[in-house]
A and B are shown apart, each in its own frame.
Chain A
Amino acid sequence: MDIRSQISMVFHLDKCIGCHTCSIACKNIWTDRKGAEYMWWNNVETKPGTGYPSKWEDQDIYKGGWEIKGKKLSLKGAGKFKGLKNMFHNPNLPVIDDYYEPWTYQYEHLFEAEEGDDQPVARPVSLITGEYITPKSGPNWDDDLSGSQEYARKDVNFKNLSAQEQEAMFQLERMTMHYLPRMCNHCLNPACVAACPSGAIYKRGEDGIVLINQKKCRAWRMCVTACPYKKSYYNWNTGKSEKCLLCYPRLESGQIPACMHSCVGRIRYLGVMLYDADKIEAAASCPESELVDRQLEIYLDPFDPEVIKAAKENGIADSTIDAAQKSPVYKFVKKWGLALPLHPEFRTLPNLFYVPPLLPTMAFVENGTYETTSESFWGAIEKSRLPMKYLANLFSAGNEKTIEVVLKKLMAVRLHRRNVTVGDLPENEVTDPMKEVSMDKDTADAIFRLTSLPLFSERFVIPAAHREEAMEMLESTADVKGNHGFGFKEPPKRGL
């Protein structure tokens, strides 16, 4: 057992209102620079939709992530042989037009225009060439366009839905959508790290954050290809790749990453997970149907005395173990089994989990109004508006059973709370669903509390970074004992 700690996240999709505040917070801090304008380390997409960059989930185009070849795990579009062979031209690299050409507006013209008959306007200009352009796409141009030809119809997750099922999703009465905020998953089996020929990308041992060393990056761009989530970006101005760094300077000083701190819907949770690094390879190379379960097995129970002992032996701080015990992510993912990884079939073992959205699945319209009477509550999962297969393609590698269980749990909580607050449901309508997912009232209340009324300190549990000890790693206090202050930079001894 090789226990490490990992900062992980949960996004509760039922609460996401698609306001893009997270994206803006991130942009203002990190990517408002030349060459990085087009990057959205955090972005929010509408599903069904093509996302950003366009059709990023289609690995037939982008060749991201891992695949099983024979029995071995190998990178789909990069790796030692493919990567070095394609060094002079990487055939699977997205170009800027797959994202969008960044632009600004010529605001000065509003002030400096010659006096004339017309009102001056601020025309859009490209942030690359500085020429006038007509913006044709942007990072969130699929916003709320769930029924559209251009975006929703081209959603990659429809691939194994029947024509009728697809058609049903585009009928006006049945149309549905939800938002999908995305950022770097800080994977346990990161494809970007494995693809980097320079060895510039690495995973931090202490907290599992995946970073790119800008000095070692030599612009081979293999990480952009390898990341199946397209969350590593190439900066065309500096010739370096960049990615989400989980606001590690903020985390180290006890602050919350900007996207999470600013989240209006309070959908984001962040906490520590203890995991067994020895199990990573086996979990990443298991059959597709087992991927979710095997990934969740990697994460360990932070209350188990054995785990605590092994963690301490591995040098994990007490404060980190304490944070792992309080971690909201542990509760959502392991204890309650409500959150699932996005596209586990990419085999990178992402550390960002999503509570799948219940609302678009359940709501259906009758006589022009949302039908929400108790009778139809439970049966609705089978005859839901959004085909279970679609959600399964997103969150469980096509395994519908996994999604169904989660949605039933979410529903059971709702029925229980309705019984508590309104009390208009017959007894068995509440107890049967709860029995089916074997959930007791206390658990349901706990889920309700952490979903609806969590405190800031419950949503985000960050362990201390122990930088004071990091300092002692470099300079032992004993080394400067009997010396002057910080000592001399160079020893005063002369001669050789």
Chain B
Amino acid sequence: MFNNFFFIGLPYAALTVMLVGSIFRYLNFGFKVSSLSTQFLETRELFYGSRPFHWGLLYLFFGHLVAFLFPRSVLLWNSVPVRLLILEIVALGFGISAFFGLYLLIVRRLKHKRLIVVANKMDIVVYVILAVQIISGLWIAFFFRWGSSWFAGTMTPYIKSIFMFTPDIAAVSAMPLAVKIHIISGFTIIGIIPFTRFMHFLVYPFSYIWRPYQYVIWNWDRKTIRKSKKLVNGVRSKNN
């Protein structure tokens, strides 16, 4: 019951809420789709918190993604013990960096009155869930080592089964508590994206890379004024 609820019910609920909620929020509350930046009110401590936190999480996110998408390549890489060691240490390093980043960010938020003014209730939820996620991740990395290898054998099939709509929770049910917590809070994060500042990573400005620097908008093009679509069916009239 417990396992069914958390490893079948929660993932589907979270993914559905994330998809529907994000699209709804983007379309209807486009104005609010971003993280409320506080750098303008405090910049020095943000540097030490935000940089390690974000880069750490970014690496870990893509690490999990690669392990899920290309489990065989990861196993192949790990077949040489030194390479496995390097991968694990680097991953742990980024985990610790994310942890200290988050710690500094929370301290910074509580320390400055200016930052409390611009915080909202969901930010507390964000801090708590991130703390749970990062701490449980570090716990696993430390006590249940070589996760990059056993992930491929246990987690990849589970997540794949979720996406294939044939949930198979046999492997996950047998996992230690830390891993269970990590999975549950991970799906919770996905589920609360539309309701929190997590929303901002869905709108990362990739299009900036290929657009030209200057951007001119013509509100109306005088050359096309007074062209009718309907006057003569199928034929657009010239300026009348």
Contact = CB atoms under 8 A, between A and B. Distances in A.
B216 A205 contact: yes
A476 B34 contact: no
A451 interface: no
B213 to A, nearest CB: 4
Contact of A219 (B35, B47, B219, B229): B35
Interface residues of B, number: 52
Given A473-B224, A476-B226, A478-B230, A206 B41 contact: no
B220 interface: yes
Interface in B183-216: 200, 203, 205, 207-209, 211, 213-216
Given A221-B37, A239-B36, A473-B225, A203 B43 contact: no
Contacts of A470: 219-220
B226 A89 contact: no
A234 B216 CA distance: 22
B237 A478 contact: yes
Given A215-B31, A473-B221, A478-B230, A202 B41 contact: no
Contacts of A202: 215-217
Contact of B217 (A89, A204, A473): A204
A429 to B, nearest CB: 50
A395 to B, nearest CB: 25
A222 to B, nearest CB: 9
B228 interface: yes
B208 A472 contact: no
A218 B205 contact: yes
A190 B193 CA distance: 35
B208 A84 contact: yes
Contacts of B214: 189-190, 193-194, 203
A308 to B, nearest CB: 15
Contacts of A189: 214
A118 interface: no
| Among B35, B114, B203, B216: residue with most chain A CB under 10 A | B216
A473 B224 CA distance: 7
A164 interface: no
A104 interface: no
B36 A219 contact: yes
A96 B40 contact: yes
A409 to B, nearest CB: 34
B219 A204 contact: yes
Nearest to A237: B118
Contacts of A364: none
A193 B215 contact: yes
Interface string A153-195: 0000000000000000000000000000000000001100110
Contacts of B217: 202-205
Given A89-B50, A478-B228, A478-B230, A199 B215 contact: yes
A199 B240 CA distance: 36
Interface in B114-166: 114, 117-118
Contact of B51 (A89, A205, A214, A218): A89
A220 interface: yes
A109 to B, nearest CB: 20
B231 A481 contact: yes
B231 A479 contact: yes
A320 to B, nearest CB: 10
A214 B34 contact: no
Contact of A198 (B37, B114, B205, B209): B205
A444 interface: no
A131 B228 CA distance: 61
Contact of B37 (A83, A194, A234, A478): A234
Contacts of B226: 472, 476-478
A422 interface: no
B93 to A, nearest CB: 17
Interface in A134-164: none
Interface in A75-104: 75, 79-80, 83-84, 88-91, 93-96
Contact of A239 (B30, B37, B51, B230): B37
A201 interface: yes
B223 interface: yes
A75 B31 CA distance: 27
Contact of B200 (A96, A203, A218, A478): A218
B215 A95 contact: no
A201 to B, nearest CB: 7
A197 B208 contact: yes
Interface string A472-496: 1110111101000000000000000
A486 to B, nearest CB: 14
A206 B113 contact: no
Interface of A: 75, 79-80, 83-84, 88-91, 93-96, 128-131, 189-190, 193-194, 196-199, 201-206, 214-221, 224, 234, 236-237, 239-240, 315-317, 466, 469-470, 472-474, 476-479, 481
22 contacts: A84-B208, A84-B209, A88-B53, A89-B39, A89-B43, A203-B214, A203-B215, A204-B217, A205-B217, A219-B34, A219-B36, A221-B40, A239-B37, A240-B31, A315-B222, A469-B222, A469-B225, A470-B220, A473-B220, A473-B224, A478-B237, A479-B228
Q: What are the 4 A-B residue pairs with the smallest beta carbon separation, nearest first?
A: A478-B228, A315-B222, A197-B205, A205-B218
Interface of B: 30-31, 33-43, 46-47, 50-51, 53-55, 113-114, 117-118, 200, 203, 205, 207-209, 211, 213-231, 237, 240
Given A95-B39, A96-B41, A236-B38, 10 more contacts: A80-B209, A84-B208, A95-B42, A128-B41, A204-B219, A219-B37, A470-B220, A473-B220, A478-B226, A481-B231
